[in-house]
A = this chain, B = another copy of it.
């Protein structure tokens, strides 16, 4: 999805919910649309050049999460990282570095993703569970920390 399309999608979603798409919120969505993985409030604060105070950032993140635009990922030391929700970013999985805590997104090649989906269906059958969504999270060492 192009960035301007993305902003339009978000705008629409927020309008539906009577939530204002203010300058601060635009900045957050825009920054997250340009990065590879989830960012914490502090990381976001750096990325956007201290343009928005932390407290306002936290409030924007909370609003965007409640509106279903962002998804939180809980990290160590009580740090929460956010990324665009799946309906905006597309389906992907996470590589979490146990060394530095960085989270990278991977979009699997179709043959991999179909095997994951197949496993998920099979597990659902075994466990009498109706799968709606899945996430394969892999912990390990990223290229930088290996």
Residues in A lying within 8 Å of B, measured CB to CB: 72, 74-80, 93, 95, 97-98, 104, 106, 108-109, 112, 115-116, 119-120, 122-124, 126-143, 146
Contacts and interface: CB of A to CB of B under 8 A. Distances in A.
B142 A138 contact: no
B115 A123 contact: no
B139 A132 contact: yes
A75 to B, nearest CB: 7
A134 B137 CA distance: 6
A136 B115 contact: no
Given A106-B127, A129-B143, 5 more contacts: A76-B80, A97-B129, A119-B136, A123-B138, A134-B136
A62 to B, nearest CB: 12
Nearest to A137: B135
A106 to B, nearest CB: 5
A106 B143 CA distance: 31
Contact of A108 (B78, B123, B143): B123
A4 to B, nearest CB: 29
Contacts of A134: 136-139
